[in-house]
Amino acid sequence: MSLIDEVQGLCERLAPLGWHDLLLLHGLDIQARPLAEELSKALAVDRSVKGFEDFSLQGTQAIEAGNPARSLLYHALASPNVLYAANGDALTDFATAAELETLLNYVYGVALPTLEALQDQAGANATLGLVVFATEYRPRADTPHHQHADLCF
């Protein structure tokens, strides 16, 4: 099963539980097909919606390749501050840790960089290495930079 199919399954599971209407407030339809196209389109993010106040001001898409902090769908599902449906009722079902990992894999995997692009980003003389990080998505107040909610390593 491809990553987009797994993300689609996540969206299908959560859509009837208040998440579809909540994300529609930002112009994101998680029931749209093809979903990959919907996830990459520009959105009119409403940061006045409870739980989205600390979403990155630079974020304008459901998924921004390589950048979870600028990915509205990742913020919605990972932020501990997103607790209420569009109608104000408490959300009762959330993405599991495994589903969040799948979504994060999609964020980083939707547009894979080449080795050359990574070397350019690091600098011509930089040594590249493989590492494993522990991660946590934190609200703005709990991030080192205090600018917006972000993935912390």
- CA angle 98/83/93 to nearest 5° reads 45
Would you call 54 exposed, middle or buried from its count of C-beta atoms within 10 A (0-12, 13-18, 19+)? buried
Let me know if residue 63 belongs to a domain.
yes
Let me know if residue 137 belongs to a domain.
no
Q: What is the pTM of this model?
A: 0.85
Q: What's the one-letter identity of residue 77?
A: L
Run of H or E including 152:
strand 150-152
Let me know if residue 31 belongs to a domain.
yes
Per the CB < 8 A criterion, the answer to whether 109 and 2 are in contact is no
Q: What are phi and psi of 119, to 5 degrees?
A: -65, -40
Parent domain of 104: 3-112
Let me know if residue 15 belongs to a domain.
yes
Give the integer Cα–Cα distance in Å for 78 and 19.
Answer: 13
Let me know if residue 60 belongs to a domain.
yes
Per-residue confidence in pLDDT tens, the chain, 153 aa: 999 999 999 999 999 999 999 999 999 999 999 999 999 999 999 999 999 999 999 999 999 999 999 999 999 999 999 999 999 999 999 999 999 999 999 999 999 888 999 899 899 899 998 887 778 899 999 999 999 999 888
Give the integer Cα–Cα distance in Å for 56 and 104.
Answer: 16
From the centroid of its chain, how far is CA 14?
Answer: 15
Closest C-alpha among 44, 42, 38 to residue 4: 38
State residue 151's pLDDT score.
Answer: 87
If one counts the domains in the chain, the total is 1
Assigned token pair, 66: 């390589």
State residue 130's pLDDT score.
Answer: 83
Let me know if residue 40 belongs to a domain.
yes
Let me know if residue 124 belongs to a domain.
no
Let me know if residue 52 belongs to a domain.
yes
- Please count the other Cβ atoms lying within 10 Å of the Cβ belonging to residue 140: 17
Per the CB < 8 A criterion, the answer to whether 22 and 46 are in contact is no
